[in-house]
Amino acid sequence: MPGIKGHDYLKLCAELASCMSISIAAASKKIEIVAARKGAKDSDSMKQVAEEMLKEAKDLSDNEESSIVSQLDNLLEALAEEENFLVED
């Protein structure tokens, strides 16, 4: 499927990529896959699929416990006993 070069579509891809913490190319590919499953072939239906996916991603990111960003923050938190740990060669 040839890529859509419309400004609005690329903006939706960028917003989706930001919400999901992935690259714009990966977000565009995800949209293309979902659109293919739904049978969307024209640019208007592709934009509609992208808008639906963006809305779903924003709804998920609003929930702090399941947010990708909050999960990453939790993983990067230092435990109290490991705060001053240094690796020496």
Percent of the residues in the chain that have a pLDDT greater than 90, as a whole number: 37
Q: How confident is the model at residue 42 (pLDDT cuts 50, 70, 90)?
A: confident
Mean of per-residue pLDDT scores for the chain: 80
Residue 37 has pLDDT above 80, yes or no: yes
Q: Rounded to whole angstroms, what are the CA distances from 69 to 3, 17, 28, 55, 78?
A: 29, 13, 20, 17, 16
Residue with tokens 């070069």: 5
Q: How many CA atoms lie within 13 A of 3 on its CB side?
A: 11
Among residues 13, 14, 21, the alpha carbon closest in space to that of 69 is found at 21
Contact 44, 7 (CB under 8 A): no
- The reported pLDDT for the residue numbered 86 is 67
- C-alpha 24 chain-centroid distance: 8
- The reported pLDDT for the residue numbered 67 is 65
